[in-house]
Amino acid sequence: MFLDQLDTYDQKIIRLLIENSRYTYSEIGDKLGISRVAVKNRIAALEEKGIIEEYTTIINPQKIGGSVSFYFEIDTEPSAIQDVIQILNDSPFVTQIYRTTGACHLHVHAVSSSQEEMEAFINDVIDPLPGIIRITTNVILSRIKDMKGLRL
């Protein structure tokens, strides 16, 4: 569905990288019956087109003792939204910012090393945000499903 614009080999390469982004060019080539160089060139082209954006390690903060994951639903005056986005974007605690429709303008995820650090972040960064109409804060108790990027 999402990959219909790509040829069969690129589709298969992407599926393999989603399965395990640590596969070598040779391993992918062996699975697809093409050369390592062909795989390398195809991946380079997918990266250059922006289809593949990055390779990363995902850390589960809930497995690190003491850390607290939380999110905010923020409704702000339209004139202040860019300022709020910039302030949040500059914070090392904020991991994701989404512009949304519906009851709030922004959905923001953040992680702190402790409940005290989270409270300080709320007091120092969240509470003084300009143009705020309403903020809802939620602590994440457990991660049930957390997909990164597009899953095929």
**Domain shared by 67 and 125, yes or no:** yes
List, for the chain, all residue ranges whose pLDDT scores fall below the cut of 70: 1-3, 61-62, 147-152
Q: Which residues contact 20 (CB under 8 A, 6 or more apart)?
A: none
pLDDT tens for residues 33-77? 999 999 999 999 999 999 898 887 777 766 777 788 899 999 999
pTM over 0.85: no
Q: Is residue 94 part of a domain?
A: yes
Same-domain check for residues 26 and 97? no
Q: Per the domain annotation, does 37 fall within a domain?
A: yes
101 and 30 part of one domain: no
Nearest 5°: the CA angle 146, 148, 151 is 100
Domain presence at residue 44: yes
Contacts of 44 (CB under 8 A, 6+ apart): none
**Three-state DSSP state, 74:** strand
Give the pLDDT confidence score for residue 6 in this predicted structure: 87
The DSSP element (H or E) to which 12 belongs, if any, is helix 8-19
CA 79 to chain centre: 26
Give CA–CA dist 18/11, Å, rounded.
11
Please check whether residues 106 and 135 belong to one and the same domain.
Answer: yes
Q: Are residues 83 and 108 in the same domain?
A: yes
The dihedral through the CA atoms of 85, 91, 97, 102 has a sign that is negative
Instruction: Choose among 151, 149, 139, 147: nearest CA to 62.
Output: 139
Residue type, 152: L
How many distinct structural domains can be found in the chain?
2
Maximal CA-CA distance, the chain: 58
Residue 152: per-residue pLDDT: 55
Q: Are residues 19 and 86 in the same domain?
A: no
Q: Are residues 76 and 129 in the same domain?
A: yes
Which residues span the domain enclosing 70?
A: 61-140
